[in-house]
Each structure stands twice: as C-alpha cells, then as structure tokens.
Structure 1
Amino acid sequence: MIYLESKENIESALLKAMENVLKEELGKDVNVNLITVDKNTIAQLNKQYRDIQSPTDVLTFVYGEEDVYAEVYICTDVIKENSVTYNNSFKKELLTVLIHAALHISGYDHEYDTSKEKEMFQKQSEYLKKFESLL
C-alpha cells in the first residue's frame, strides 16, 4: 500500500502502477510512504544521505519493516524540470520516477552496486511500456 503524504495531487493510477511493480518484484504487498518535498528539502536530504549538494528528483530509503517497508521522497519541481530536459510529459516523468523508486525498494541499485544496473534500467523501460496507457 502506498501512503501519500503530500499537498499535491498524484493520480491514483500512477500510485497503483507503483504498487503493481512492487508486488511483482517483491512477491508481496508492502507499506511505502511517498512524501513530496520542495527543492530545498530534497537538496538537504541529498546532501545528508548522499553527500551531493544539489536537489534530485527522488530519494528512496528501504527499512524492510512490516509497518513501513520504505519511504520515498520526491520533488515535483525537479521532476517538472526533468520532463523538459528529457522531452517527456510531467506525467511520464513522474511515472518513471515512481517505477525507479519501486525498483530501488525491490533491491536494484545503480549507484553503490552496479551489478544489476543494466537489469534495473531494462526493467524500468519494460514497466514504462506496460503502463504507458496511463499517460
């Protein structure tokens, strides 16, 4: 179950797509808090946890606990900027970020352990195609 902690409206269909990816990858339902934050907050979190001094679109923290399996912080301002940079609609960029976060929650990494990086981005593309009808 995705618990949205946000003042912003994120379409339930996109959240459902994220839940579907999690269930398919993990083989079970998990509780994930999805929190939207501003650029300043995401930049602070990025500095604190990754030692990178700039805003990012998404940060994922996996705890593996039953009550809160993971937390995902997203910054819609950065996602909007990225949609322009990558010539995507905002909705497609947001879906990409949600799928990307779900894959991180499922154990895929491209930063600290690159052994599954290629597989992660291939799965991300496959899931985007699977859910393109939402766009």
Structure 2
Amino acid sequence: MFTERGARNISISITDRSGLAEKKHLKLITLCARKATALLSPGGDVSIAIIDDNEMRELNKTYRKISKTTDVLSFEQNTGGLAGDVAISIETARRRADLYGITFEEEIKRLVIHGISHLAGHTHKKKKEREKMRAEESRVFRAIAGL
C-alpha cells in the first residue's frame, strides 16, 4: 500500500488487493491520482483499491445488484475528510485496453481519472452531466499525458 499527501494536503492511498499490479503500474496510478486530485478537487482523502474481477463482481452484487464485473466503481463518502474510495479491476482494465486498441497504461489513467471525477461530484446519468464530466476528464487526461 502506498499513502502520500498530495495537493491541498489530500491523502492518497493505493492498495493492490489483486496481487496482479506491477510496481510500475502502482507508481503510475499514484502519480495520476495525485494530479487528478489536484485538478478535480474531490474535497478529501482518496483511497484506490486495485482488485480482480471476482472482487469487482462482489462489489457490483452488493452495491448495484448486478452480477458482473466492471472496470471502475467509486464510492463517495464526503465525511471526516474522506472524499471516498475507488475500486479498479485490473483484469477488466487489461481487456478493455485491448478492446479499445490503447495501452494498458492509458486505460489505467482513464479509470483513475474517472473514479476521482465521481468523488469530485461529477456524474454521467444525464446528457449535460455526462458532457461536463467528459470535458473535465479530457482536461485532466491532457494534463497527465506525459506520465
């Protein structure tokens, strides 16, 4: 587990619960999360868990009543200085990168940004909200392009 204080004294914790993440990917996730929290201002500490498809399926069953995996889930807390938690399925991220024809690193960046964007209050339920969220995510993605 990595924990550090980023911009605005926000703590960012990264935990690999899957055992599948390489050290270089954990470092990338940490750098990306630091920049995303600075640009999106989620309003508190952020915890990111790298998990496998089985754990993601269980989270989906518990919280969304869906019995399948997904790439990223965010859980807003907004209490006690905690913005919330982000869970990323490393297995789904690898498959999606192949499907989209992008690198695994690009997909990981996209998922970290998307998860933190939710913690900052963005949503994609309605068209206008989705457009605003995508614009913010694109802005952050451009800012971290060199990572």
TM range (shorter): 0.7 to 0.9
Higher strand share: 2
How high is the TM-score relative to the length of structure 1?
A: 0.86
8 Å contact 1:31–1:66 — kept in the other structure? no
SS in 2 for 1:36: strand
Aligned to 1:22: 37
User: 2:84, 2:127 → 1: CA distance?
Assistant: 21
Return 5+ residue gaps in structure 2 as ranges. Answer: 1-10
8 Å contact 2:35–2:144 — kept in the other structure? no
- Which has the higher mean CA deviation after the structures are superposed, 1-10 or 87-96? 1-10
Q: CA offsets per residue over residues 60-92 of structure 1, 9 Å max, x none?
A: 101012353211111100000000011110000
The root-mean-square deviation of aligned C-alpha atoms, in Å, is 1.9
Return 5+ residue gaps in structure 1 as ranges. Answer: none
- Which has the higher mean CA deviation after the structures are superposed, 87-96 or 64-73? 64-73
- Which has the higher mean CA deviation after the structures are superposed, 77-86 or 35-44? 35-44
| 1:124 and 2:137 correspond | yes
Structure 1 residue runs of 4 or more that deviate by more than 4 Å after TM superposition: none
SS in 2 for 1:54: coil
Aligned to 2:72: 58
Aligned to 2:12: 2
Partner amino acid, structure 1, of 2:32? A
User: 1:23, 1:126 → 2: CA distance?
Assistant: 12
How many Å apart are 1:33 and its aligned residue?
1.4
How high is the TM-score relative to the length of structure 2?
A: 0.80
Aligned to 1:109: 123
Percent identity over paired residues: 21
Q: 1:52 to 1:100 in 2, by over 3 A?
A: same
Partner amino acid, structure 2, of 1:129? R
1:81-100 to 2 correspondence within 5 Å? 81-100=95-114
